[in-house]
Amino acid sequence: MTPIAALKAAIRTILVADGALTALLEGAKVYDDVPRSAEAPYIAFAEASTREHGTATDKGHISELTLHVWSRQGGSSEGLAIASRLETLLDDAPLVLAGHHLVSGRVLATETRRLADRNLTRVALRLRFVTEVL
């Protein structure tokens, strides 16, 4: 399994298991492929990249992922509340990855953007993970 696929699976598992987050989302609405019928608020996996970061004897990777929080509320308070919970759950989280060992994981940045024409707010969380291949 690639580090990105392993990270996405582990992240989704932690997020949908958290009662506080699912209450904020009004369900386990964490998507890799957002259904057309999805109603905000929800979380969607967005951009992802990985690059080699091994040693002479061990294979490793640095992977960066972006999660988008989509909020329907005017302003950014709902989206930022969800983003805050994500940061609590994912910053230095003990993720269990298929085929990989997590060395470190951090939330690098949070950014909000208002889409007034759609009455939505998007909060982007950029995450960085260092992993080793098992």
pLDDT band, very low/low/confident/very high, at 1 (cuts 50, 70, 90): confident
Would you identify the CATH topology of the domain 3-133?
Answer: STM4215-like (3.30.2000)
Domain boundaries, the chain: 3-133
The 10s digit of each residue's pLDDT in 88-124 is 999 999 999 999 999 999 999 999 999 887 889 999 9
DSSP-derived 3-state class of residue 84: helix
Model pTM?
0.94
pLDDT band, very low/low/confident/very high, at 73 (cuts 50, 70, 90): confident
Tally of CB atoms within 10 A around 87? 14
The 10s digit of each residue's pLDDT in 18-60 is 999 999 999 999 999 999 999 999 999 999 999 999 888 889 9
Lateral strand order in the sheet of 60-71: 30-31, 42-52, 60-71, 120-133, 100-115
What single letter denotes the amino acid at residue 7? Answer: L
